[in-house]
Amino acid sequence: MRRILITGGAGFIGSNFARLLLQRKCEAICIVDLLTYAGHRATLADLLEDSRVRFDHGDIADRDFVRRVVTEFRPDWIVNFAAESHVDRSIDSPSDFVRTNVQGTFELLEASRSYWQNLGTEAAEQFRYLQISTDEVFGSLGPEGLFSEDTAYQPNSPYSASKAAGDHFRRAYWKTFGLPTLGTNCSNNYGPFQYPEKLIPLVLLSALAGRPIPVYGTGENVRDWIHVEDHNQAVLTVLERASPGSSYNVGGESELTNLEIIGKLCTELERRRPASANDSMRAVSKKDYVDLIEFVVDRPGHDERYAIDNRKIREDLSWQPSWTVDKGLEQTVGWVLENLDWCREVGPDLGERLGLSSLAEVAT
């Protein structure tokens, strides 16, 4: 029975983590979120029906707000999911990423340190701060190799640079102050409640609307895909079992090129919602969802390949992914089709392309 503070809890991964905790009979959850473009009250609707869940609307970079919430709620664990997370948006507006992912992490660590230092001995020993991060901090792999916990940081986008800074602050607070911090670096997540600008929901919603499915460059960039439930099980396992100061890579062991995952999505969508029965497809004279694929200008600095080495978390904590990518995509496609109202309510303009500002500046 724990009291857990979740920042970014109105977003994709954080809200799913809250649902997992409620299944595990936790004592209380405090969700903190600024409700920017990717965090929505609609995502919290089912969670706020539970009396154990409290919601505080605010910015983790706001020192007074963060310290007040931590002091009032008195968490056993703090899990920082809050982040600006879309690479294309970081190209257009890097300062937003510095504020949330760097300044916000710093303020949360400072609030955690002040709170932890005033706990009794037993509570202080049980307290944990977990920083949720990404494999993108390690840069880009070639055709071979895997990211391990010892891989050098080589971020290639403003997003990954800001997440790397948060990771370094998390480690420094353990080494300098003894704050019992933990870190995880995960691969690409997918599953229910994912914000529709991300690849998988974007492909599905574009296809259903008979719109072009944009593929950056050649579509051969490789990502390791993990179902959000597997990721969150790993997060909970790290909180429950890992030694303070440690960090773990979390991957789904499912490497696919962008073209391969788009192909799988189109196949599953065809099975559930045939193109021949889709008025939007008939309107654009397309007989198959894959016919909507349109190759577009590549993202600036697009990393070639990410792949996670899971050995440490497997061996130390006995965690491993349980979802195959095919079963996970089948479930995700079904969820999107059953929750189109949610997708429309929270989603952006599917025709908007972000992340090209640097190319335009070079051209001029």
Neighbouring residues of 335: CB distance < 8 A, sequence distance ≥ 6:
191, 192
277 exposed, middle or buried (CB, 10 Å; 0-12, 13-18, 19+)? exposed
Concerning whether 136 is annotated as a catalytic residue, the answer is yes
Choose, from 33, 107, 135, 255, the residue flagged as catalytic. 135
Contact 55, 135 (CB under 8 A): no
Question: Which residue, among 142, 169, 145, 164, has the nearest Cα to 154 in the 3D structure?
Answer: 164
Pairing of strands 255-257, 222-227: antiparallel
Choose, from 159, 173, 195, 248, the residue flagged as catalytic. 159
Choose, from 33, 110, 136, 230, the residue flagged as catalytic. 136
Q: Radius of gyration over alpha carbons of the chain, in Å?
A: 20
Task: Report the alpha-carbon angle 59-64-66, nearest 5.
Answer: 50
What beta strand segments (E) does 119-254 contain?
128-134, 181-186, 188-190, 213-216, 222-227, 247-250
Concerning whether 298 is annotated as a catalytic residue, the answer is no
Q: What gap in Å lies between CA 113 and CA 193, rounded to an integer?
A: 32
Contact 17, 31 (CB under 8 A): no
CA 59 to chain centre: 18
Question: Which residue, among 38, 250, 71, 62, has the nearest Cα to 9 in the 3D structure?
Answer: 38
273 exposed, middle or buried (CB, 10 Å; 0-12, 13-18, 19+)? middle
Concerning whether 289 is annotated as a catalytic residue, the answer is no
Tally of CB atoms within 10 A around 104: 26
Neighbouring residues of 14: CB distance < 8 A, sequence distance ≥ 6:
6, 7, 8, 31, 33, 79, 81, 82
- H or E segment to which residue 199 belongs: helix 199-208
The catalytic residue positions are: 135-136, 159
